[in-house]
Structure 1
Amino acid sequence: MQEMRPSIQIVTTAMDALHAVRELNKQGYKQDDIYVLAHDSDQTKSLADASNANRIGPSEEGVFTSLANVFRSRGDEIRAKLQSIGLTDSEAERYEEELDRGRVLVITNLH
């Protein structure tokens, strides 16, 4: 069985992220399959709450990664989260740089 790769949209604003989540819903994606990620963890939580999307958490990361993230810098934590959903080190680094620039990721197909 081939592992499903996540699909990631890079958006510039919170409103763009909300719009992207709505569009994914219209395309038939379930709320359980849509995640948002911003560089700031409070912004990620706000976006997830506002859009009814999810955050990458212990069930996606695994307990060890989730616990280790407590001791990591935010950049290291983000890269670990992205790697836990199937991205390579270099892909995780590239997307983390986008988040550093204030962009938001809308992620689908984690299962």
Structure 2
Amino acid sequence: MTVKLTVENAVQAKKEIENLVTQGYSHDEIYLFAHDKKRSDDITDALDTEKVGVVEQGFLDSLKNMFSSRGDELRNKMEAVGLSSEEAADAEKELDQGKLILIAKK
């Protein structure tokens, strides 16, 4: 089961992550996305969520993302952790507005 949540900031993200953990998700099953890569890395590290890597995407998609725009990279990663291409496109639009996306996947 995949759950997608949109939050405004890291404080709200922390609260939602705590809720997901109480629902039985582990930190390794929760992914956080932000449009700015540094912001994403900083919040992911601070809140101990998982990063989308080769395991989730596969080697070729990971390699392709190195040469893609940030928007394409984000959509690919969100699809890799359970969103449809349409859901990922909608989520990327929310990221463009400065919001954070949390995706929890069992």
Q: How high is the TM-score relative to the length of structure 1?
A: 0.87
Aligned pair 1:13/2:13, yes or no?
no
Q: 2: distance between equivalents of 1:83 and 1:58?
A: 13
Runs of 4+ in structure 1 deviating by more than 3 angstroms, as ranges, are: none
**Among residues 62, 73, 80, which one is paired with 1:84 in the alignment?**
80
Q: 2: distance between equivalents of 1:72 and 1:50?
A: 26
Gaps of 5+ in 1: none
Gaps of 5+ in 2: none
Partner of 2:60: 64
**Over the residues paired in the alignment, what is the CA RMSD in angstroms?**
1.3
Deviation (angstroms), 1:86 = 3.0
Aligned pair 1:26/2:17, yes or no?
no
**Among residues 35, 38, 48, which one is paired with 1:39 in the alignment?**
35
Aligned residue pairs total 106
* Structure 1 SS opposite 2:103: strand
Query: How high is the sequence identity, in percent, across the aligned residues?
Result: 38
Q: 2: distance between equivalents of 1:83 and 1:26?
A: 25
| 8 A Cα contact 1:36 1:53, kept in partner | yes
* Amino acid in structure 1 at the alignment position of 2:34: A
Partner of 1:51: 47
